[in-house]
Amino acid sequence: MPDWIPYGVVTGLYGDGGLGKSLLAQQLQTSTALGRSWLGLPTEKIASLGVYCEDSRDELLRRQDEINVAYGCEVSADLENRVHWMPRLGEDNLFMTFSGGVGKPAPAYVALPAAPITRDTLLESWKEIYHQEPTAKIKASMK
């Protein structure tokens, strides 16, 4: 989504639990997989990876069934190879640690797919992933 979610940059979605972050993220993933608008905004047809820190695979599947009905699509025919999930409920979701302003990969980072399967990655729940408030000033580089 040009002007909203930049290409080639990991995008974080954060907020208190139960507000609908995962639902919005799944709707966005579905919209971009189909090349349809999302919340009235145009999208481009791309593949994406959603890292869901607060939801199980079963919950994502249950929710996706309802999204598919709303979009009139099927997982196998319309979304396969375009929508990828990493459900991480109950896992250690710390992706980076920071020391002296330098970011270092944490174990959850290693769990990310080695080969690029997507054009965009959406990380849900910033605080669990970076172990800092989203408003904290971070000048980090991966080393």
| Domain residue limits, the chain | 11-130
Pair 117, 47: CB distance under 8 Å: yes
For 55-84, write each residue's pLDDT tens digit: 999 999 999 999 999 999 987 778 888 888
For 79-117, write each residue's pLDDT tens digit: 888 888 889 899 888 888 888 888 888 888 777 776 555
**pTM for this prediction:** 0.74
